[in-house]
Amino acid sequence: MLPVIALVGRPNVGKSTLFNRLTRSRDALVADLPGLTRDRKYGQGQHDECSYIVIDTGGITGDEAGIDKAMAQQSLYAIEEADVVLFIVDGRSGLNQADELIADHLRRSNKPFRLVVNKTDGIDENVAMADFYGLGVGQPLPIAASHGRGVSQLMELVLEPF
């Protein structure tokens, strides 16, 4: 059985961009419109010798009704299915109330997860991460999904137990 990694976070933080990079596909719709990917999407990736399954999700806004509710439900399913969760936040927009809700959920889920600060390209990594220590969920890992910065180090760390 391949390890299953779920990408979870509020809309527009770069989950689909990371999914595409990990699976090298253009399949997960990436757009400037928040919340475009509405269902869970599965792909396969590989790091060194280790293959894994990655799940892209629509996102959790913390203000769920209608389609947002469905998206949040998909994210909760993805967390259940995963061996490890990558909790993605946006290093450019700073800490958000939805991030707090997701952190609470993950803490209660008993699922291993890592906090990943995306969009650190062209900005000071340490400044981008500073806000997110406040979530109290451990050391944030900086990446830039669209450029690939930090992604291989992230996968090294995440796949280490498998």
- Looking at the Cβ atoms of 16 and 74, the one nearer to Mg ion is 16
* Coil vs helix vs strand at 136: coil
**135: phi then psi, degrees, rounded to nearest 5:** -70, -20
**Residue 67 touches ligand GDP, criterion: CB under 6 A:** no
**Residue 99 touches ligand GDP, criterion: CB under 6 A:** no
- Looking at the Cβ atoms of 17 and 120, the one nearer to Mg ion is 17
Out of 8, 14, 68, 159, point to the residue binding ligand GDP (CB under 6 A): 14
What's the rounded Cα separation, in Å, for the pair 53 and 84? 11
**Residue 82 touches ligand GDP, criterion: CB under 6 A:** no
Residue pointed to by tokens 């390209």: 121
**Residue 17 touches Mg ion, criterion: CB under 5 A:** no
Q: Tell me if 58 is assigned to a ligand binding site.
A: yes
Other CB atoms within 10 A of residue 83 CB: 18
Out of 55, 71, 144, 154, point to the residue binding ligand GDP (CB under 6 A): 144
Residue pointed to by tokens 């995963």: 82
- Looking at the Cβ atoms of 111 and 119, the one nearer to ligand GDP is 119
**CB 89 within 8 Å of CB 13:** yes
What's the rounded Cα separation, in Å, for the pair 73 and 96? 20
* Coil vs helix vs strand at 71: helix
**Residue 37 touches Mg ion, criterion: CB under 5 A:** yes
> Using CB under 6 A as the criterion, which residues of the chain lie in contact with ligand GDP when the complex forms?
11-17, 30-32, 34, 37, 59, 118-119, 121, 144-147
